[in-house]
Amino acid sequence: MTGPARREEGGKSRRGTQERALRRREALLDAAVDLLGEGGFTAVTHRAVAERAGIPLAATSYYFSSRDELVADAFALLVERDLLRMRASAAEAGAGSLVESARTILRTYAPDRGRQLGLWELYLQAGREPALQHIARTWTDGWHDIVRTLLDRAGHPCGDDEVRFVATLVSGLWLELLVEDRPGSPERAGETVARALRAITECR
């Protein structure tokens, strides 16, 4: 009755918590992430998560004290994975030009529309629930860092303003691309990014 097996800092398993329990908790989180991608925020219910993870219903209440906590943890995990993936994609495409990098990153995420929509959904939710604020900021900061790295590596080191400028523009374009998938939009988005980069690199 003391409390379920929370992930203590450092990822190290706490004394007294069993191995299997941690794996089950992760399975639940994975299921939650998947469901969020498939059906959005409202699809992440205790029952759906439990069934997806192949774990009895009561377990979800055992590992997460409330649905809000479950969603918040799923959000954090999603952000973490997203940034990891983005960093990897950026590193892989770091050699070519900036526009080419942007195109590579875009390709990486193309088959992942649902998950991205879910991520934005939760990000928006953070505007209403202060408990999610911290995670939302982590996402933004991480993304800005990636853009900064990318700009640096391309030989155009920028101040915070320029980084913010490019990062926000790309985010906005991407969100629009995600929501309204109009024909020809990806190409136009690419041109818009190129124009922004030109403005930063050529102009001074």
Partner DNA sequence: CAAAAAGCGGTACGCTTGTCCCACTTTAAT
Partner DNA sequence: ATTAAAGTGGGACAAGCGTACCGCTTTTTG
CA atoms within 13 A on the CB side of 8: 9
Binding to DNA, residues 16-35 (CB under 7 A): 16-21, 24
Check binding of 103 to DNA (CB under 7 A): no
Binding to a second copy, residues 94-133 (CB under 8 A): 113, 117, 120-121, 123-128, 133
Q: Which does 16 bind (CB under 5 to 8 A by kind): a second copy, DNA, none?
A: DNA
Binding to DNA, residues 36-95 (CB under 7 A): 44-48, 55-62, 65-68
Check binding of 157 to DNA (CB under 7 A): no
Total residues contacting a second copy (rule CB under 8 A)? 40
Check binding of 2 to DNA (CB under 7 A): yes
Distance CA 98, CA 154 (A): 7
Binding site for DNA (CB under 7 A): 1-5, 15-21, 24, 44-48, 55-62, 65-68
